[in-house]
Amino acid sequence: MVRAHEIEVVIPEDHQLTVEVPQSVRSGPARMILLVPSEEPREPPNLEALTQWQALAADLAADARPFDELPLEERRARLRRVMGAGRGISSSSEEFARQKSVEIELEERKFAR
């Protein structure tokens, strides 16, 4: 059985790491996989979409009533306003899929499939 332990590190200028593992990890052989951010440029966030999203969130937050206590038509109207409002704020589904395919490739190598 393989267990994963995630430890965040910062690569120093001399490119040497000292890693402390939890006491629950027994001594002996282990495999360390280093995942680093892609060198490819990321899509910059769409500032207009982000501003619109923040304005929508502030507008909806002005009514402190819990969502489930709102009348059905008002809930539907709020959901219509929110649907699709976050487009352009985060990376595209294509970017997400590309990142996942890289992760799958790493896992397949890790488990020698």
Residue 91 has pLDDT above 70, yes or no: no
Closest CA to 56 of 88, 87, 78, 89: 78
Alpha helices in the chain (DSSP H): 47-61, 72-82, 93-110
Please give the residue that has the higher pLDDT: either 111 or 35.
35
Over 60: is that where the pLDDT of 113 sits?
no
Higher pLDDT, 63 or 95: 63
pLDDT tens-digit readout, 24-73 = 888 999 888 888 877 766 667 678 888 888 898 899 899 889 989 999 99
% of the chain exceeding 90 in pLDDT = 15
Q: Is 104 exposed, middle or buried (0-12, 13-18, 19+ CB in 10 A)?
A: exposed
Q: Which burial class, exposed, middle or buried, applies to 16 when counting CB atoms under 10 A from its CB (0-12, 13-18, 19+)? A: exposed
> What are the residue boundaries of the structural domains of the chain, listed by start?
47-110
Of 32, 14, 18, 84, which is closest to residue 56 (Cα–Cα)? 84
- What is residue 73's predicted lDDT score, i.e. its pLDDT? 94
Residue (of 43, 44, 52) closest to 86 by Cα position: 52
